[in-house]
Structure 1
Amino acid sequence: MTSQLDNPSSWATGNDAPTEKQKAFLTTLAADKDAPLDPSSMNKSEASSKINELKNAESKSPGAAAAGAPIQNPDTWTTGEEQATGKQTGYIAAMAREAGEKVETGGMGKTEASKTIGALKEKTGM
């Protein structure tokens, strides 16, 4: 079943300018994938679709991060101390179950969650 979140063109705010986070992430992805683009010429819907496209594209940069690895070092994230997202904590819970571990995510920040996900990915191969 496809939700509205999976279809950016149906978003009520899809025609608005992309967020600063979208523009920054697109710039980083585009550089990693050697795909020049101008995020400021896109709307939110287009930016979201392009992010998904670039995330799934093969990296063109030498020494680029492995598939699934963070594009940027989590220690440098400006939002790293903010509360971990629901997706992060859900992913941690699923992988912790697979690894037979108990991981407490209450009060975990985004940076710590990203690092925990990386460690669990190595353990579980997920």
Structure 2
Amino acid sequence: MSKTAPGTAKVPKSDPNGDPADASNRIKDPDDWTTGGEPMTGAQASYLKTLSEQAKDPDAFDPDLDKADASKRIDALRRETGKG
């Protein structure tokens, strides 16, 4: 068993892409979310409505989207409106 010397921090290993080894902290694809099929959150609905208004695309807001689809639509609208 290896020990870290007192006063030193253990440096995380990296994956081949240079990202931290702790993949649990990475952003997951919405299609892989375990709760992605649940209704979108209130925050998602509010942000999606705002972005759809800014993009002058009221049809982009659909109150029946699930969390995963809302996230994907938000990402697309952020790119379209220059917010992301």
TM score, norm. by length of structure 1: 0.45
How far did 1:106 drift?
2.0
Distance 1:124 1:63 in 2: 28
How far did 1:125 drift?
1.1
Aligned to 1:112: 69
What is the aligned counterpart of 1:96 among 39, 52, 60?
Answer: 52
Residues 31-51 of structure 1: CA deviation (Å, up to 9, x unaligned): xxx5xxxxxxxxxxxxxxxxx
TM-aligned CA distance change 1:62 to 1:109, over 3 Å: same
Can you give the 5+ residue segments of structure 2 that lack an aligned partner in the other structure?
Answer: 1-11, 21-25
Aligned residue identity for 1:91: Y
Distance 1:95 1:106 in 2: 14
Paired residue total: 62
Identity, % of aligned pairs? 35
Bigger Rg over Cα: 2
Aligned to 2:36: 80
1:44-63 equivalences in 2 (<5 Å) = 62=18
Aligned residue identity for 2:57: E
Question: Which consecutive aligned stretches of 4+ in structure 1 deviate over 3 angstroms post-superposition?
Answer: none
User: More helix by proportion, 1 or 2?
Assistant: 1
Distance 1:91 1:125 in 2: 14
TM score, norm. by length of structure 2: 0.65
Q: How big is the alpha-carbon RMSD for the aligned residues of Structure 1 and Structure 2?
A: 2.1
